[in-house]
Amino acid sequence: MTKRCEDVKQRCSWVSTDPDYVAYHDFEWGRPTYDSQELFELLCLEGMQAGLSWITILKRRSSFRQAFDRFDPKCMSAYSEQKIEHLMKNKGIIRNRLKIKAMITNAQMYLALEKQQSFSDFLWSFTGGTPTVHHYKEAEAIPTSSNESLLMSKALKKRGFKFVGETICYAFMQASGMVNDHETGCFCYAKCLPAQNKVN
């Protein structure tokens, strides 16, 4: 069941009243993203979220961007042990050594993949280059993984990426708009439809 907030807009039922969360839902979550570096940032943050709530990551996103050179893969790929120790002292981010090292590895794998094809094209290939539209009325019906997220996970792992399990990949696909999992009663549902399926 969608949630009706003070501004009368109907939103997905999982959205809290936190202003940052509302803004993220309204203007980012589920909006198709095709920029490779933006997708890389999102995949890193989804990996950081593992075992935590998204609001925990969202509240620290600015600190993450500052700490990780705005998720520039070239910069991150060259991080030294000294840099890792510096990051481990940063109270503004999630200080998990395994996750930090995974992000550095993923930056290196990103650069390797980009020599063959764009990161964006690679990731979007799992939905045929266009968003997959679902028709869920309630959050309880929305899955936490799919055949596509499993295939994406396997492909990323094969290329050396870390913290890219099928559940993380599905959350990433939802956030990046590769799948439209806004509840059908949510005002964002129609806004996130592919052009040919737009509801007037």
List active site positions: 24, 46, 54
Structure tokens at 138: 């309630």
Which residues, including other chains, have CB under 8 Å from residue 18's CB and lie 6 or more apart?
A: 55
The number of C-alpha atoms within 13 Å of 97 and in the hemisphere containing its C-beta is: 6
Q: Is 44 annotated as a binding residue?
A: no
User: 59: closest CA among 87, 18, 100, 88?
Assistant: 18
Q: Is 135 annotated as a binding residue?
A: no
Burial class for 198, CB neighbours closer than 10 Å (0-12, 13-18, 19+): exposed
User: 84: closest CA among 109, 70, 67, 71?
Assistant: 67
Q: Is 182 annotated as a binding residue?
A: yes
Q: Is 25 annotated as a binding residue?
A: yes
Query: Binding-site residues for Zn(2+), please?
Result: 12, 25, 182, 186
Query: Binding-site residues, please?
Result: 12, 25, 182, 186
